[in-house]
């Protein structure tokens, strides 16, 4: 069955066509922050293939030059949609190229801050374009371009200038086509959001009804239609925010016909399986089976030192266990009122994963397809159901709050599937797992209690933190006795996208309290070290 009601059918949608700029996803984000729904598609999208009509179209920036022979161009059908269009940087140049081939290489690149002059129509009567309503006559904007317009396309007017860009913004006001040379989507353009709001809300008349409450109601409805009155769904949950929110949504939609499975692989955080069971079953009412496979995993990991081998063993065993569980669940349901095929597999795919697989990276570059949980549904002949595939992480967190999920869970740091196995360098043994679990629990307790200068908890201020175990032992002294013990490494990083990250700085008092506690309370630890490396060159996890 086709998707009964995707958000672009239910919400006024601004279509963002991506020409490969590294900021394109920010345009979508800014719109969503204004409660206007937006989706991004590659600039090569054929509009005849689109099953819905956008309220407006934004053409993004991009690394190409519109006049180059291999430059990407928008489907000209966009100009027959009869909706407003905003071109940003390359997008502005694309408008100018389409309407008159008026673009050439500039003498020098303009990169960085520029003062924009939102001026009266060429010095004659005062005229402020609707695109700039509510903005001051002069404002800071951020530019990044080398090409420029040689002259205005017919019937366009100049609506703003800068010292280096006489056509910093242009408009065809009756057709409602606008182009800006600067980037309103980046934070270096402080009032950029107002420009985007003017376009989406005043010019396109998109309703600002994209809220997580509305999304939730509509998504629950959509899942019900998709799954039908008898269909059953299984899903892997980890206790992480994505799978928890997805599971709760499924539960709202189809109740006990959703079966959540959590695998205790023996390398979870301290008491994790118990806590997740408690939260999902008792607090959220989700039907959850925890499969204790810790011994199976730990015996397979015995003697294995290579990080990639460890990851493979965990990934493969995870799939085997999931298949076994799916069979059990289907069998148990055989003679009950909820008998029906397990047809769907729930996956917590987020919009950044989708964006990564559709963004336009260049005419010759292959476009990557993102797979979340490696190959599982294909092997099991299940159809995917992905309730979060249109959401950014902060939207997932907002909907988690909306669904009544505890704040502690909503703001949980990410935890990788292979768990502590990639935080213990070298062979994983039950003793090492215990030591890392205990050290980690102390670190987390202190992070949750500790406060930054402005009163937020350290845990919330940090993007991800954990304790890990280095490979060699070191000598320490405990109660006048020599101790040849383990070395715990603490890591805490700040990041927005987990692609790059910076080590977090703690004050002396906090650092010594945590290290004293771990040294005193965790048997077998001789030293506690702090990991200062940024990403790059390091990764966040140790392996």
Ligand X SMILES: Nc1ncnc2c1ncn2[C@@H]1O[C@H](COP(=O)(O)OP(=O)(O)OP(=O)(O)O)[C@@H](O)[C@H]1O
Ligand Y SMILES: NC(=O)CC[C@H](N)C(=O)O
Is there a catalytic annotation at residue 183? yes
Question: Known binder of ligand: residue 244?
Answer: yes
Determine the size of the site formed for ligand XMP (CB under 6 A).
10
Report the C-alpha gap between 248 and 255 in whole angstroms.
Answer: 9
Contact between 414 and ligand XMP per CB under 6 A:
yes
Q: Which CB atom, from 175 or from 494, has the smaller least distance to ligand X?
A: 494
Which residues in 387-426 contact ligand X (CB under 6 A)?
414-417
Contact between 363 and ligand X per CB under 6 A:
no
Question: Known binder of ligand: residue 38?
Answer: no
Contact between 374 and ligand X per CB under 6 A:
no
Contact between 363 and ligand Y per CB under 6 A:
no
Work out which of 102, 158, 243, 437 binds ligand X, going by CB under 6 A.
Answer: 243
Q: Report whether 319 contacts 376 (CB < 8 A).
A: yes
Is there a catalytic annotation at residue 185? yes
Which residues in 478-507 contact ligand XMP (CB under 6 A)?
498
Q: Report whether 66 contacts 97 (CB < 8 A).
A: yes
Is there a catalytic annotation at residue 89? yes
Pairing of strands 481-494, 502-503: antiparallel
Report the C-alpha gap between 293 and 536 in whole angstroms.
Answer: 35
Determine the size of the site formed for ligand Y (CB under 6 A).
12
Report the C-alpha gap between 462 and 493 in whole angstroms.
Answer: 6
Residue with CB nearest ligand X?
A: 240
Question: Known binder of ligand: residue 82?
Answer: no
Catalytic residue among 89, 390, 395, 438: 89
Catalytic residue among 94, 110, 185, 395: 185
Work out which of 20, 418, 450, 485 binds ligand XMP, going by CB under 6 A.
Answer: 418
Catalytic residue among 8, 98, 145, 183: 183
Residue 67, token pair as written in the block: 């006049």
CB of 292 to ligand Y, least distance (A): 53
User: Measured in whole angstroms, how far is the alpha carbon of residue 113 from the centre of its chain?
Assistant: 28
Work out which of 129, 181, 265, 463 binds ligand X, going by CB under 6 A.
Answer: 265
Closest CA to 429 of 339, 314, 300, 329: 300
Report the C-alpha gap between 40 and 359 in whole angstroms.
Answer: 8
Q: Which CB atom, from 253 or from 458, has the smaller least distance to ligand XMP?
A: 458
Give every strand in the sheet of 56-59, ordered side by side: 37-42, 13-18, 56-59, 85-88, 177-180, 169-172, 157-160
Span of 58-66, 133-141, 214-222, 361-369 interacting with ligand Y by CB under 6 A? 58-66
Locate tokens 């008792």: which residue? 282
Residue with CB nearest ligand Y?
A: 61
Question: Known binder of ligand: residue 242?
Answer: yes
Report the C-alpha gap between 117 and 413 in whole angstroms.
Answer: 44
Which residues in 401-420 contact Mg ion (CB under 5 A)?
415
Closest CA to 287 of 323, 336, 252, 337: 252
Give, as one character, the DSSP assignment of residue 529: E
Q: Give the 3-state secondary structure of residue 70.
A: coil
Closest CA to 91 of 144, 134, 159: 144
**348 touches, from Mg ion, ligand X, ligand XMP, none (C-beta below 5 to 8 Å by class):** ligand X
Output the CA–CA distances (angstroms, integers) from residue 412 to 66, 152, 274, 446, 489, in the order listed: 45, 52, 16, 15, 20
Work out which of 348, 387, 400, 519 binds ligand X, going by CB under 6 A.
Answer: 348
CB of 315 to ligand XMP, least distance (A): 8
Contact between 249 and ligand X per CB under 6 A:
no
Contact between 539 and ligand XMP per CB under 6 A:
yes
Residues near ligand XMP, by CB under 6 A: 414, 416-418, 464, 498, 535, 539-541
Residues near ligand Y, by CB under 6 A: 21, 61-65, 89-90, 144-147
Residues that constitute the known binding site for ATP: 238-244
Active-site residues, by number, are: 89, 183, 185
């Amino acid at each position: 069955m086709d998707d009964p009601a995707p958000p672009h059918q239910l919400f006024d949608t601004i279509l963002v066509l991506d020409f490969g700029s590294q900021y394109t996803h920010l345009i979508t984000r800014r719109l969503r922050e204004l409660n206007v729904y937006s989706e991004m598609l590659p600039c090569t999208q054929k509009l005849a293939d689109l099953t819905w009509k956008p309220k407006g179209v934004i053409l993004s920036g991009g690394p190409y030059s519109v006049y180059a022979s291999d430059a990407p161009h928008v489907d000209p059908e966009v100009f027959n949609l009869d909706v407003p269009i905003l071109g940003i940087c390359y997008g502005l140049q694309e408008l100018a190229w389409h309407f008159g081939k008026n673009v050439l290489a500039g003498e020098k690149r303009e990169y960085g801050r520029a003062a924009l002059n939102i001026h009266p129509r060429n010095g004659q009567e005062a005229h402020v374009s609707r695109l700039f309503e509510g903005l001051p006559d002069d404002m800071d904007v951020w530019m990044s371009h080398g090409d420029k317009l040689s002259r205005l396309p017919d019937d366009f007017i100049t609506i703003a200038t800068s010292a280096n860009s006489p056509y910093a913004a242009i408009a065809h006001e009756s057709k409602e086509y606008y182009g800006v040379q600067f980037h309103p989507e980046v934070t270096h353009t402080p009032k950029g959001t107002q420009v985007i709001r003017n376009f989406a809300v005043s010019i396109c008349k998109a309703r600002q009804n994209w809220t997580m409450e509305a999304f939730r109601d509509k998504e629950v409805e959509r899942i019900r239609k998709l799954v039908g009155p008898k269909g059953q769904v299984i899903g892997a949950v980890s206790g992480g925010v994505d799978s928890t929110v997805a599971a709760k949504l499924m539960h709202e939609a189809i109740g006990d016909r959703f079966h959540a499975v959590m695998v205790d692989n023996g390398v979870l955080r301290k008491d994790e399986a118990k806590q997740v069971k408690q939260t999902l079953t008792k607090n959220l009412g989700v039907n959850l089976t925890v499969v204790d496979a810790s011994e199976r995993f730990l015996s397979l990991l015995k003697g294995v030192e290579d990080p990639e081998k460890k990851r493979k063993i965990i990934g493969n065993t995870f799939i085997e266990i999931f298949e076994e569980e799916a069979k059990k669940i289907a069998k148990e349901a055989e003679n009950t009122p909820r008998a029906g095929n397990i047809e769907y597999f729930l996956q917590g795919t987020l919009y950044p994963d989708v964006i990564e697989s559709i963004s336009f990276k260049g005419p010759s570059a292959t476009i990557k397809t993102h797979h979340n949980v490696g190959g599982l549904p294909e092997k099991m002949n299940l159809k995917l159901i992905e309730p979060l595939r249109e959401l950014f992480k902060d939207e997932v967190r907002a909907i988690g709050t909306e669904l009544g999920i505890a704040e502690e869970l909503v703001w949980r740091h990410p935890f990788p599937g292979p768990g502590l196995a990639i935080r213990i360098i070298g062979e994983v043994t039950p003793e090492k797992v215990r030591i890392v679990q205990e050290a980690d629990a102390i670190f987390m307790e202190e992070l949750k209690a500790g406060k930054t200068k402005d009163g937020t908890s350290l845990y919330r201020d940090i993007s991800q933190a954990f304790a890990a175990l280095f490979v060699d032992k070191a000598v320490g002294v405990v109660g006048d006795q020599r101790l040849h013990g383990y070395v715990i490494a603490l890591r805490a990083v700040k990041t927005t996208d987990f692609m790059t990250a910076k080590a977090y700085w703690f004050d002396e008092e906090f650092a010594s309290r945590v290290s004293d506690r771990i040294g005193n309370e965790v048997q077998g630890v001789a030293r506690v070290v702090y990991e200062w490396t940024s990403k790059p060159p390091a990764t966040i996890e140790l392996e």
